[in-house]
C-alpha cells in the first residue's frame, strides 16, 4: 500500500505552502480577469430593463442567453449579428396584432406602433376626414386590437330643386338628414322613406308641401225681372230699375308642391255684397181697332185687359234670371242619405228637383229652368239666398258638367 501523505509535515514545508498560495493567487486573478472581460449589456423589452455581463459575441447571442425570442415583425435597435460592446443598450419592441375590418374585408397587421394614428400612418391605410374609425386616433395599440373603418361616400339631396352633397358612412335616410341643417314640416315628403338605408347610389328627394288659403272675389251677375205693364205698348220694354252686380268671396284651400299649385278646393263661400235685380217693364197694351156701328166710342177707347202669360194650361208665369248651380246627393259635403229638406228621396227620383230660397220661390212650386227643364222646388240650402237656385243632377259628373251659370227661370203660379 501507498503511504499516506503526511499533512502536518507538508504544511510545515515552506515550498509546498508557497506553491499552494501561488496557485490560489493565479486562480483568483484568472477569475477576476474572466469577470472583468465580460461586457455589460442592457436589454430593454416592453419598458423593462435587464442588465447582464456576458462574453457573448453578438446581439443574437445575448438574446439567446436571456431566452428572448425575436419574431419577424419585432423591432430591434441593433442587427442580430452586431458585435456586443460594453455598456451596449439593446431595445426590443414586440409587434402586436391589429385586426382591421373595412367593409366586407378583414385583414391582420403586425405593428410596433403605440397609437392608432401611428399604426394607420405606418400601415399606409388611407383615411379621409369623412371616414369613421371605431377607435380614437390617440387610442393605445395593444395585442389583438380590433379596428373598424367605415369609408365615407357622397349622397345627393335634392331639396325642392336645390341640390347639396353630404358625406356619410351609411345609416338611414332619417339619420343622414339629422346630420344636416335641413328641417322638414309635417306635410313635406321624402323619397326614399326615412327608414331606408342609404348607399353610394342613393339620391334623396324632398318635396316641400304646403297648404295655403287663397281668397278670390268674384262678381255675381244680377237677375233680370220682367214685369207686365198694361200702360206700355206691346213689344216695348222699359228699364224700371237698373241692376247691380254682387260680390262673392270664395275661400280655396290650395296645395303647393315645391311652390307649384297641384290642387285647389273650395272650402267656403261668402256673399260680401248682394246683387240688385234689374226690373224691366214689358208692354202688354194692345190697341183695339174700332168696329163700325157695333162698338161705342167709349168702348173703342177702353184699353185691352192685360193677358197673363201661360204655359198653355191657364197658369200665370213669372220669369226671372237666376244663378243656378248643379249638385248631386252624393257630393263631399252632403250627408249621403239623399233626402231633401222636405224629405224627398233624391236617390229614387234624381231628376226634376231644385233647391230654392222659399221667400223667392215657395216650396212645392213648379218651375222651368233654362238648360235643365221642368222641376219642382223640393229642397233648401244655407247658401241659397235671393235669386239663387241649385239644380239636382242624377250623377256627380253631370253636376260637374252643368257647373254654375245664370239661367232663365219661369215660375208657374
Q: What's the 3-state SS for 121-167?
A: HHHCCCCCCCCEECCCCCCECCCCEEEEEECCEEEEEEECCEEEEEE
Question: Going residue by residue through the chain (413 aa), what tens digit of pLDDT does each one get?
Answer: 445 555 566 556 666 666 767 777 776 665 555 555 578 889 898 778 888 888 888 988 888 888 888 888 888 888 888 888 888 898 888 889 999 999 889 999 999 888 999 999 988 999 989 999 999 999 999 999 999 999 999 999 999 999 999 999 989 999 999 989 999 999 999 999 999 999 989 999 999 999 999 999 888 888 888 888 888 888 888 898 998 988 989 899 999 999 999 999 999 988 888 888 888 888 888 765 544 443 333 333 333 333 333 344 446 788 999 999 999 988 877 777 889 988 899 998 999 999 999 999 999 999 999 999 999 999 998 889 999 999 999 999 999 999 999 999 999 97
Domain residues for the domain of 61 are 39-93
388 inside domain: yes
**Using one digit for the tens of pLDDT, what is the confidence trace for 149-202?**
999 999 999 999 999 999 999 899 999 999 899 999 999 999 999 999 999 899
Q: Are residues 290 and 219 in the same domain?
A: yes
Per the structure, the count of domains in the chain is: 5
388-392 and 317-327 beta bridge pairing: parallel
Q: Are residues 170 and 262 in the same domain?
A: no
Contact present, 387 and 323 (Cβ < 8 Å): yes
Residue 162: what are its φ and ψ, rounded to 5°? -100, 120
13 inside domain: no
pTM over 0.85: no
Contact present, 157 and 204 (Cβ < 8 Å): yes
Tell me what pLDDT residue 254 has.
Answer: 94
8 inside domain: no
> How many Å apart are CA 401 and CA 353, to the nearest integer?
17
> How many Å apart are CA 177 and CA 173, to the nearest integer?
6
Q: Are residues 314 and 297 in the same domain?
A: no
Q: Are residues 322 and 397 in the same domain?
A: yes
Q: Are residues 286 and 335 in the same domain?
A: no
Q: Are residues 331 and 406 in the same domain?
A: yes
Amino acid at each position: 500500500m501507498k503511504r499516506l501523505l503526511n499533512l502536518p509535515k507538508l504544511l510545515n514545508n515552506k515550498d509546498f505552502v508557497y506553491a499552494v498560495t501561488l496557485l490560489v493567487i493565479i486562480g483568483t486573478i484568472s477569475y477576476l480577469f474572466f469577470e472583468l472581460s465580460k461586457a455589460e449589456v442592457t436589454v430593454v423589452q416592453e419598458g423593462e430593463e435587464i442588465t447582464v455581463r456576458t462574453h457573448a459575441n453578438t446581439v443574437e447571442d445575448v438574446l439567446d442567453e436571456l431566452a428572448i425570442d425575436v419574431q419577424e415583425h419585432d423591432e430591434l435597435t441593433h442587427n442580430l449579428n452586431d458585435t456586443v460592446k460594453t455598456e451596449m443598450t439593446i431595445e426590443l419592441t414586440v409587434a402586436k396584432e391589429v385586426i382591421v375590418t373595412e367593409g366586407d374585408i378583414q385583414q391582420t397587421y403586425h405593428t410596433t406602433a403605440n397609437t392608432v394614428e401611428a399604426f394607420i400612418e405606418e400601415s399606409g391605410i388611407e383615411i379621409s376626414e369623412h371616414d369613421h374609425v371605431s377607435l380614437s386616433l390617440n387610442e393605445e395599440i395593444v395585442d389583438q386590437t380590433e379596428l373598424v373603418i367605415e369609408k365615407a361616400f357622397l349622397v345627393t339631396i335634392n331639396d325642392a330643386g336645390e341640390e347639396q352633397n353630404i358625406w356619410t358612412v351609411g345609416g338611414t335616410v332619417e339619420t343622414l338628414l339629422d346630420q344636416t341643417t335641413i328641417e322638414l314640416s309635417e306635410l313635406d315628403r321624402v323619397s326614399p322613406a326615412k327608414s331606408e338605408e342609404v348607399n353610394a347610389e342613393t339620391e334623396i328627394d324632398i318635396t316641400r308641401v304646403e297648404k295655403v288659403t287663397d281668397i278670390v272675389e268674384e262678381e255675381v251677375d244680377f237677375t233680370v225681372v220682367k214685369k207686365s205693364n198694361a200702360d206700355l205698348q206691346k213689344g216695348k220694354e222699359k228699364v224700371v230699375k237698373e241692376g247691380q252686380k254682387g260680390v262673392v268671396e270664395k275661400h280655396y284651400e290650395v296645395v303647393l308642391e315645391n311652390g307649384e299649385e297641384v290642387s285647389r278646393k273650395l272650402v267656403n263661400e261668402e256673399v260680401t255684397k248682394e246683387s240688385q235685380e234689374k226690373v224691366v217693364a214689358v208692354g202688354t197694351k194692345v190697341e183695339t181697332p174700332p168696329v163700325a156701328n157695333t162698338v161705342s166710342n167709349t168702348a173703342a177707347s177702353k184699353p185691352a185687359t192685360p193677358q197673363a202669360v201661360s204655359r198653355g194650361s191657364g197658369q200665370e208665369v213669372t220669369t226671372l234670371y237666376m244663378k243656378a248651380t248643379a249638385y248631386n246627393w252624393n257630393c263631399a259635403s252632403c250627408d249621403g242619405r239623399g233626402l231633401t229638406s222636405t224629405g224627398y228621396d233624391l236617390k229614387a227620383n234624381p231628376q226634376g228637383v231644385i233647391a230654392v230660397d222659399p221667400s223667392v220661390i215657395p216650396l212645392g212650386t213648379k218651375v222651368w229652368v233654362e238648360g235643365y227643364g221642368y222641376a219642382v222646388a223640393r229642397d233648401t240650402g244655407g247658401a241659397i239666398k235671393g235669386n239663387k237656385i241649385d239644380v239636382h243632377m242624377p250623377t256627380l259628373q253631370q253636376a260637374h258638367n252643368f257647373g254654375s251659370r245664370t239661367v232663365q227661370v219661369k215660375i208657374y203660379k
